[in-house]
Amino acid sequence: MTGAGGVPALSQATDKIPTYVVGLDARLSGGIPRGHIVLVGGPPGSLKSSFVYRILFHEAKERAASGLYLSMEQSRASLVAQMTSLGMEPSQAKGVHVIDVRALRREIEEVREQPRWLLGLRRQLARYKEEMGCDLIALDSLDALYALAPFESPRNEIFQFFEELRDLNATTFLVSEMPRDATRFAHFGVEEFLSDTIIHLRLREVDVGMSTSVRRYIGVVKMRGVEHDLDYFPLLVEHGTFEIVSE
Ligand SMILES: Nc1ncnc2c1ncn2[C@@H]1O[C@H](COP(=O)(O)OP(=O)(O)O)[C@@H](O)[C@H]1O
Ligand SMILES: [Mg+2]
């Protein structure tokens, strides 16, 4: 049984976080396993931020979950305006807290030891977790975080970072900016091995008569513990609804 829009009813699949993409959740037996670290990769404009924010928004609105959205690329005002244009009014989901990069930058500047980015982020996340709890965390994007402070030893620091994320017991979304022709889902390559789920948002050019149009696709590349299709499905966005097209 599903609720409106194909989203599993509250009593069902509470061990899953729906993607809130109509048609996709049914193919994933309800969605993403709770507690996963989810890498969401794609080129600019592929709807990474919107896809991730939507999950936090609906989880807060429909299941009273608390979410922390760390927006490192876009200011809070710009993100909120974009999400409002997609039909997501912040007042409808008070459990979502959007923090932009300024607060984190302050935190990082105070840290003297290495690795500063990691320690700064850890402090920030621990503080938010204590103040308001967080069932869901979104970090948008990994690349912007990496640009904040230099790495001494990237592989070790990223490994430690994932360990610390797991200790927070949240479901975490890590946004990764991918060039269109990239074969790696994240900058250092290790992130894709450490993540439990990888969702790939793709853009593909298709010729339509005399002109060329860009279509969006969504694919689940990896999802630990779930049997899933490896197909990419066309992703349609209409009036704030996300839907896949499948045969
Ligand atoms: N109200 C809207 N309805 C449908 N699509 C929109 C709307 N607002 C923005 N978009 C689309 O969303 C894209 C940006 O999505 P975003 O989630 O920021 O992508 P990314 O984070 O991958 O760069 C824009 O390029 C535009 O095509
Ligand atoms: Mg974005």
- The better pLDDT of the pair 158, 124 is held by 158
Q: What is the pLDDT of residue 1?
A: 45
Average pLDDT over every residue of 194-210: 96
Ligand nearest to the CA of 83: 1
**Is there a domain that residue 182 lies in?**
yes
How many angstroms does the Cα of residue 229 sit away from the middle of ligand 1? 25
Question: Of the residues 50, 88, 202, 203, which should be mutated to test ligand 1's pocket, given the most ligand atoms within 8 Å of the CB?
Answer: 50
Cis peptide bond upstream of 141, omega within 30: yes
How many angstroms does the Cα of residue 115 sit away from the middle of ligand 2? 25
**Is there a domain that residue 221 lies in?**
no
Judge whether 67 and 95 are in contact, CB under 8 Å.
yes
Report the number of distinct structural domains present in the chain: 1
From residue 26, alpha-carbon distances to 2, 21, 101, 109, 213 in Å are 9, 9, 35, 45, 29
Judge whether 194 and 162 are in contact, CB under 8 Å.
yes
**Is there a domain that residue 196 lies in?**
yes
Token digits for 219? 């694919």
Q: How far apart are the C-alpha atoms of 234 and 247, rounded to whole Å?
A: 11
From residue 108, alpha-carbon distances to 67, 150, 194, 201 in Å are 22, 11, 24, 30
Note the helical H segments in the chain. Answer: 24-27, 48-63, 76-85, 101-110, 116-132, 142-146, 154-167, 190-194
Q: Residue 67: which CATH number?
A: 3.40.50.300
Pocket of ligand 1 (CB under 6 A): 42, 44-50, 82, 85-86, 237
Residue 14, amino acid? T
**Is there a domain that residue 232 lies in?**
no
Q: How far apart are the C-alpha atoms of 44 and 140, rounded to whole Å?
A: 12
Q: In this model, does residue 237 exceed pLDDT 90?
A: yes
Taking CA atoms only, the protein residue closest to ligand 1 atom 3 is 86
How many angstroms does the Cα of residue 206 sit away from the middle of ligand 1? 19
Ligand nearest to the CA of 42: 1
The model's pLDDT over 105-137, given as tens digits with 9 standing for 90+, comes to 888 888 888 888 888 898 889 888 888 889 999
How many angstroms does the Cα of residue 12 sit away from the middle of ligand 2? 31
How many angstroms does the Cα of residue 83 sit away from the middle of ligand 1? 9
Q: In this model, does residue 7 exceed pLDDT 80?
A: no
The model's pLDDT over 30-76, given as tens digits with 9 standing for 90+, comes to 999 999 999 999 999 999 999 999 999 999 999 999 999 999 989 99
Taking CA atoms only, the protein residue closest to ligand 1 atom 5 is 237
3-state secondary structure of 237: strand
**Is there a domain that residue 204 lies in?**
yes
How many angstroms does the Cα of residue 185 sit away from the middle of ligand 2? 15
Taking CA atoms only, the protein residue closest to ligand 1 atom 7 is 86
**Is there a domain that residue 124 lies in?**
yes
Judge whether 150 and 171 are in contact, CB under 8 Å.
no
**Is there a domain that residue 20 lies in?**
no
Range of the structural domain that residue 146 is part of:
34-210
What does DSSP assign to residue 88? Answer: -
Decide: pTM greater than 0.85.
yes
**Is there a domain that residue 193 lies in?**
yes
